[in-house]
Amino acid sequence: MDNSMERRDHNYIVEPVCTSALLKRNCSKEPLRSRNMPRLEFDIQLETIPLKLSQMQYRQIMDFLKELDRKERQLKFRKWRPKVTVSGKG
């Protein structure tokens, strides 16, 4: 067995959860007349999702969200950036 297949310790942030799903199926032989009436309909009920984050994981998530905000702001003002480089000679 190579190294990638060996058992490693992981720090999971989501614990196992219980859920239930109810599938409703429209068994009509007629073609669907409306896009609002699906052939299959799922009703999924999910219990609470417990998360366990270390202080470092929480900090990394918050830093990532700050970078997403910064990138969104950068894209918003990109249209006013010059299309050519500014030369130092003039």
Task: For residue 39, give the nearest of 55, 56, 29, 27 by alpha carbon.
Answer: 27
Type of residue at 71: K
Does a structural domain hold residue 6?
Answer: no
Q: Which domain holds residue 45?
A: 19-77
Does a structural domain hold residue 60?
Answer: yes
The number of domains in the chain is 1
Does a structural domain hold residue 1?
Answer: no
Interval 36-45: pLDDT, tens:
778 888 999 9
Does a structural domain hold residue 4?
Answer: no
Does a structural domain hold residue 26?
Answer: yes
- pLDDT at residue 14, as a whole number: 79
Type of residue at 77: F
Using CA atoms, how far residue 9 sits from 5, 6, 12, 57, in Å, is 12, 10, 9, 16
Distance from C-alpha of 37 to C-alpha of 27, rounded to nearest angstrom: 12
Does a structural domain hold residue 87?
Answer: no
33 vs 46, higher pLDDT: 46
Does a structural domain hold residue 86?
Answer: no
Distance from C-alpha of 55 to C-alpha of 59, rounded to nearest angstrom: 6
The pLDDT > 70 percentage for the chain reads 86
The H or E element containing residue 29 is none
Query: Does 64 score more than 90 pLDDT?
Result: yes
